[in-house]
Structure 1
Amino acid sequence: MTIKVESMHAGEFLLSEGAGNISREAINVAAGPALQPGQILGLVTLSGEFAPYTPTAEDGSENAVAILWGPLGESDVPRRGRAVVRLAEVSEAHLTGLDPAGEKALAANFVIVR
């Protein structure tokens, strides 16, 4: 018997958000590996592109500021995506790369981890 595992759907991590689409923004994500919905993102200061949150970085991505809405494939060039950046409640179990500092940083933008 073959067991199939379904990947996470776009926005599956979201418990609630502000009215309309006030919680989401269109973003540019730095070139790199494939990313799944729920990936915590930081903003790289020099490029203005979002990248996976890396607490030990020193380029701006050490500050958690957003959560990737939908999947992005691997790319050698920056990619267009969507992210939750404010006024939302999210499921901790569905997030990738979250640590206590990241959770606190997201809370500053009213993105509350439950």
Structure 2
Amino acid sequence: MQRLNYGGKPGPGPIYTQEFKEVLASTELQAKLPGGVLLAQGNGVVAKGTVLGKVTATGKYKPYSSSAVDGSQSAVCILDNDKDTTDEDIGASAWIAGIFDTSKLTGLDAAAKTALKLCYFV
């Protein structure tokens, strides 16, 4: 890679590519959880479209799992952007209502579909 001189001024930085993942099947009839969620540390990168559950003891959210016993076995919302929880708790926004493409969601099962009463899945 050849470096170019920009007269001592910053030049273009590295180029990154990103895949855009749209989980909404429609932009109509959508709503987000007021105030967002606090994702619990230690769950790595949580992908957009992940179904989330709320841990009863801490009030923090983590990926929904029907086999959990900490509160996260109840689906509450769907994450709307990738977030890295590897090193710290992190705030995020999440949908509580909308029309979603089931093939783009992570962790969605029959119980989650039932719990997410304001969500429609196509």
Fold-level similarity (TM above 0.5): yes
Aligned to 2:61: 50
Aligned to 1:112: 120
Tell me, yes or no, if structure 1 residue 94 matches structure 2 residue 94: no
Aligned to 1:69: 80
Distance 1:113 1:43 in 2: 21
Structure 2: unaligned runs, 5 residues or longer: 1-16
Three-state SS of the structure 2 residue aligned to 1:96 is coil
Higher alpha-carbon Rg: 2
Structure 1: unaligned runs, 5 residues or longer: none
Aligned partners of 2:53 and 2:63 also within 8 Å: yes
Aligned partners of 2:39 and 2:85 also within 8 Å: no
Three-state SS of the structure 2 residue aligned to 1:61 is coil
Q: Deviations over 1:38-87 (max 9, x none)?
A: 0010011111111100100011100111000001024222111110013x
Distance 1:74 1:49 in 2: 12
Distance 1:74 1:7 in 2: 20
How far 1:6 sits from its partner (Å)?
5.2
Structure 1 segments of 4+ aligned residues over 3 angstroms from their partners: 5-9
- In the superposition, the TM-score normalised over structure 2's length comes to 0.76
How far 1:112 sits from its partner (Å)?
1.3
Identity across matched positions, percent: 30
What is the aligned length?
A: 102
Tell me, yes or no, if structure 1 residue 30 matches structure 2 residue 40: yes
Aligned to 1:15: 25
- What is the root-mean-square deviation in Å for CA atoms of aligned residues? 1.8
